[in-house]
Amino acid sequence: VALIPQLAGYLVASGGKRIRPMLTLAAARLCGHRDDRHIGLATAVEFIHTATLLHDDVVDESDLRRGQASANAVFGNQASVLVGDFLFARAFQIMVADRSLETLGILSDAAAVIAEGEVLQLSASASAETSRDTYMAIIRAKTAELFAAACEVGAVVADRPAAERRAMRNFGMDLGIAFQLIDDVLDYSALQARLGKSIGDDFRDGKMTLPAIIAMERGDEAECAFWRRAMAAEAQRDGDLGQAQALIRRHGALEATAAMARTHGAAACAALAAFPPTPLRATLEGVVAFCIGRDY
Ligand code: IPE
Ligand code: IPE
Ligand code: MG
Ligand code: MG
């Protein structure tokens, strides 16, 4: 059906950083894997990611992705949801072709957890009361779980012992948490043209991400009242985003969030100590540095 390659091709051709499949490729090689079996798994990982982006932009009503109009803005919500489903199904076909129940288990668990994380986030939205614990549960599930799975399957195809699989998984988990923390900083502070996504979407959608949670924790009564009103459904006024950004700046909430990303980045690097100090390990340490320092 022509619309499927049209819509999927539109998003795929716009690039993206392709961090997750690169993690699978690098993890497998760092674990000593030699043949090409990991390439299919890396492909499945990026298909799962692409499917979640199609669905996420519908849910978030985002109109910009990878520097161009989002697929839902161009083709509509219905087409985005259905082609997202198709990509999920294709990912599962690719995983089955790998003929390993273990990799299939890891990646299908990740797909379920991501969906659960997105629903948890939806349940927590439109309210300023989101706790740090709930926020961490959301970002672990919606983002870090796929990073963890991408890394773990690399160690599994290389047939490494359980301790190394766990180390790879932990590396991906901490990296993924750091990645999403920085994403949430960028949603308030990035240059839109550089980021390729709209700024302020989290605030507009009533999502309490860590910068907002910290600003509210450090705010006075009036500021808390502002957050409560602005996060409620359909209650935002012109100028609210600017006000939120000012409060976040005043309380150093972006710096505090970035500091937490650095802590998780350090934990990710510590997990890599289980592997030999090869150039590939140094590359993965470089990925951690990139994810923490990124501006897109
Ligand atoms: C976007 O992920 C979704 C999040 C988890 C924040 P990426 O920033 O990796 O998206 P692309 O693939 O590079 O566009
Ligand atoms: C990222 O969600 C996680 C998934 C796509 C599952 P976000 O909504 O935070 O990411 P962006 O900012 O749209 O990329
Ligand atoms: Mg989104
Ligand atoms: Mg979202």
**Which pLDDT tens digit goes with each residue over 66-91?**
999 999 999 999 999 999 999 999 99
pLDDT of residue 281: 98
pLDDT of residue 81: 98
pLDDT of residue 184: 98
pLDDT of residue 255: 98
Q: What mean pLDDT comes out for the span 161-165? A: 97
Residues with CB under 6 Å of ligand 2 are 52-53, 56, 60, 62, 114, 118, 142-143, 183, 197
Mutate to test the pocket of ligand 2, among 56, 184, 198 (most ligand atoms within 8 A of CB): 56
SS (H, E, C) the chain: CCHHHHHHHHHHHCCCCCHHHHHHHHHHHHCCCCCCHHHHHHHHHHHHHHHHHHHHHHHCCCCEECCEECHHHHHCHHHHHHHHHHHHHHHHHHHHHCCCHHHHHHHHHHHHHHHHHHHHHHHHCCCCCCCHHHHHHHHHHHHHHHHHHHHHHHHHHCCCCHHHHHHHHHHHHHHHHHHHHHHHHHHHHCCHHHHCCCCCHHHHCCCCCHHHHHHHHCCCHHHHHHHHHHHCCCCCCCCHHHHHHHHHHHCCHHHHHHHHHHHHHHHHHHHHHHCCCCHHHHHHHHHHHHHHHCCC
Q: What mean pLDDT comes out for the span 16-35? A: 97
Residues with CB under 6 Å of ligand 1 are 16-17, 19, 66, 143, 180, 183
Q: What mean pLDDT comes out for the span 45-66? A: 98
219 C-alpha vs ligand 2 centroid, how far in Å? 27
- Provide the percentage of residues in the chain whose pLDDT is more than 90: 99
Q: How much is the mean pLDDT over the chain?
A: 97
Q: What mean pLDDT comes out for the span 248-276? A: 98
Q: What mean pLDDT comes out for the span 156-177? A: 98
